[in-house]
Structure 1
Amino acid sequence: MTGAEQRHAPATLRNRDAIVAVLETILPSSGTVLEIASGTGEHAIYFGRKFPQLIFQPSDPDPVNQQSIAAWTARENVANILSPLELDTMARRWNIEQPVAILCINMIHIAPWEASIGLFEKAGKLLASGAPLFLYGPYFRDDVETAQGNLDFERSLKSRNLQWGLRDVADIDGLASSNGFVRESLTEMPANNISLVYRKS
């Protein structure tokens, strides 16, 4: 694969260590971790190196991103990264074996609300009791004043697609509860983002 196929997301370098710090507290000691909306594939590569005892299954509905994931995996030669799957949270079903955890980084706000619904519905069916679902990104919170940067980002998202936008943590909690999840933690992260960890009950 050519270097042109390897896409780069600058935010990855800013947030990957903060994400790993949370993942170290929630990921099991073995099994396959499914990443939804893997984007460029840079997170999957980094996580694969940090957690060599786990297998990482990246996925993305975009063929260009799938090529980037495959290109990064080939270049970095990380043995515990599987070939990317074409998964869409709004598809009727996922043809995948049960993972021990699901990660979803920076997708919720750059997708219609139906994508969040699909994510939780499928995660609720796939994950075993006690397994974690990890989310990362910017969110609105009733008890915290929204940073100006996130308000500007929200306007930018809406200008590109009215179905996109920052979601309220309370709405995500409600969606989680209706699919058999309980929120375990909320952690402040770089650049006014947060991580949300849910456990299948």
Structure 2
Amino acid sequence: MADPIPPYEMGDLGPEDRKQAPAAARNRQFIIDVLADWLPKTGLVLETSSGTGEHALAFAQRFPALDWQPSDLDPAALRSIAAWRQDGPDNLLSPLLIDTSKSSWPIGRADALLSINMVHISPWAATLGLLAGAGRLLPPGGPLIFYGPWLADDVETAPSNLAFDEGLKSRNDAWGLRRVEDVAALAAKEGLLLEERRAMPSNNMMLLFRKRS
């Protein structure tokens, strides 16, 4: 099957419960290399909007000392995560239904939070809720990590990302690439400070926020 035009819908990935997203195979090792530097050595990682669950499986396998908690809002995604989990290690936990825009989550704490390719294909309220949730759940020093395409005042936006942004907004006016500076300002209100930013392949970026001590 050819790659769907991003962002894909879960239904684009076939009728099987265990779905495959082509981008997951392409970017997971790059993400893992950064996570190895940024994640705690032990504890529980909450991954929001886990999608197909392929990342969660790969990350749980790579970081056996961490308990990996995938989550999503989409029922098809939750089924796919559960299907991939059948072949996963014991530290890959059963997926949770989490709507980050809501203030009530079915989890009370996490040592790290990870969000991959969510903020640009969800309403702004989902990002605001994620920041608030990280402020509630993370301990002092705990990381909140983002991966995806971003806009930044000090980085010239690639033409492909500008076109991507226009395409997102044409599909849903609540979507679009977000400015790093906007998210950092709101994160600070939740006690989360932007500590590091890394350029990634395909004009993506990873952001590391830490809960203020």
Give the TM-score, by structure 1 length.
0.96
The separation in 2 between residues aligned to 1:50 and 1:36, in whole angstroms, is 18
* Distance (whole Å) between structure 1 residues aligned to residue 149 and residue 140 of structure 2: 27
Residue aligned with 2:71, SS: coil
Amino acid corresponding to residue 101 of structure 1 in structure 2: A
**Residue 200 of structure 2 corresponds to which residue in structure 1?**
189
SS in 2 for 1:158: helix
The answer for the alignment partner of 2:54 in structure 1 is 42
Equivalent residue letter for 1:83: S
Work out which of the residue numbers 47, 66, 72 in structure 2 matches 1:54.
Answer: 66
Provide the secondary structure at the position in 2 that maps to 1:4: coil
Tell me which residue corresponds to 2:131.
120
CA contact (8 A) 1:48 1:55 kept: yes
Indicate the residue corresponding to 1:88 in structure 2.
99
Kindly provide the CA deviation profile for residues 90-146 of structure 1, in whole angstroms up to 9, marking residues without a partner as x. Answer: 113112131110000000000011111000011101101000000000011111111
**Structure 1: which 4+ aligned runs deviate by more than 2 Å?**
none
Q: Distance in 2 between matches of 1:141 and 1:77?
A: 37
2:103–2:133 CA contact under 8 A, matched in 1: no
Corresponding letter in the other structure for 2:106:
N
Equivalent residue letter for 1:49: Q
Task: Report the AA paired with residue 31 of structure 1.
Answer: G
Deviation, structure 1 residue 86: 0.2
What is the CA distance between 1:22 and its match in structure 2? 1.1
2:211 pairs with 1:200? yes
Corresponding position of 1:16: 28
**Distance of 2:134 and 2:71 partners within structure 1:** 14
**How big is the alpha-carbon RMSD for the aligned residues of Structure 1 and Structure 2?**
1.0
Aligned residues: 198
Distance of 1:113 and 1:198 partners within structure 2 = 18
State the secondary structure of the residue aligned to 1:99: coil
Aligned equivalents of 2:46, 2:179: Cα separation in 1: 24
Q: Which consecutive residues of structure 1, in runs of 5 or more, have no partner in the other structure? A: none
Alpha carbons 2:96, 2:106 under 8 Å: kept? no
Equivalent-residue separation in structure 1 for 2:153 and 2:105 (angstroms): 34
Q: Give the CA deviation at 1:154.
A: 0.7
2:17 alignment partner in structure 1: 5
Q: Which amino acid aligns with 1:192?
A: N
1:33 and 1:102 in contact (8 A); partners too: yes
Q: CA deviation at 1:149?
A: 1.0
Deviations 1:158-186 (A, max 9, x none): 11100000000110111111110111100
Q: Please tell me whether the aligned partners of residues 43 and 110 of structure 2 are also in contact (alpha carbons under 8 angstroms).
A: yes
Q: 1:7 Cα deviation (Å)?
A: 1.2
Amino acid at match of 2:71: S
- The answer to whether the 8 Å contact 1:109/1:167 transfers is yes
Is residue 103 of structure 1 aligned with residue 114 of structure 2? yes
Q: Does 1:171 align with 2:191?
A: no
| Residue in 1 that maps onto 2:8 | none
TM-score by length of 2: 0.90
